[in-house]
Amino acid sequence: MRRVLGAFVVISAALLSAGCAASASVDPEAARAWAAEASAQSSDGPGLAGAAMLSATSDPPADDGVRLDFAEPVTLTRAQASCFGGQTAEVIVTVTSATGGASTGYGLEIPCDERPHDIPFGDRGVQGAESVFLTARADPSTYAYVEVIQALTAER
């Protein structure tokens, strides 16, 4: 009986201390301020097809994200994503092309170190892109900033 009682006390103490452990958190105001600053510093040069600030939560609804529509089809080469808070975030870029309306998703788990990380769209990029849908997931919740980059062509 003593062994069972001793094991119960040890297991209970371990479970109790695990439940009391501090969970990671991100200051939402600091994350929002960082994302706003990242957006303000963004280049609006000819290679930028679009950009968005995203709220990244642990279980976002399927339709929670930002859709960017292009005035005419473009060739996209990659996205650059960054996030705030020291944890990680999964960023997904779904590209819809003009040819048949096919959608292709490109995702990457990135460190939330406030630096841009490339999400490549293959060797040749995506030609004829009409829109992108951007989503992010993170636990703890934070903000992400995503830029979608288009191919530049030189005119002769």
Read off the pLDDT of residues 69-83 as tens digits, 9 standing for 90 and up.
999 999 999 999 999
5 pLDDT higher than 60: no
Tokens (6 digits) for 106: 């490109």
4 pLDDT higher than 70: no
Q: What is the pTM of this model?
A: 0.78
Would 81 be classed as within a structural domain?
yes
Please give the residue range of the domain that contains residue 131: 24-150
pLDDT at site 32: 81
Percentage of the chain modeled with pLDDT above 90: 47
Secondary structure class of 27 (helix, strand, coil)? coil
Contact 144, 138 (CB under 8 A): yes
9 pLDDT higher than 60: no
Lowest-confidence pick of 6-10, 56-60, 117-121, 147-151: 6-10
Would 155 be classed as within a structural domain?
no
92's enclosing H/E stretch is strand 88-97
Would 142 be classed as within a structural domain?
yes
127 vs 97: CA distance, rounded Å:
7
Beta bridge partners of 56: 142
β pairing state of 103-111 and 48-56:
unpaired
For the domain that residue 49 is a member of, what is the CATH number?
2.60.120
18 pLDDT higher than 80: no
Find, among 80, 76, 140, the residue nearest to 110 by Cα: 80
Read off the pLDDT of residues 25-38 as tens digits, 9 standing for 90 and up.
888 788 888 888 88
Domain total for the chain?
A: 1
Would 135 be classed as within a structural domain?
yes
Find, among 150, 144, 127, the residue nearest to 49 by Cα: 150
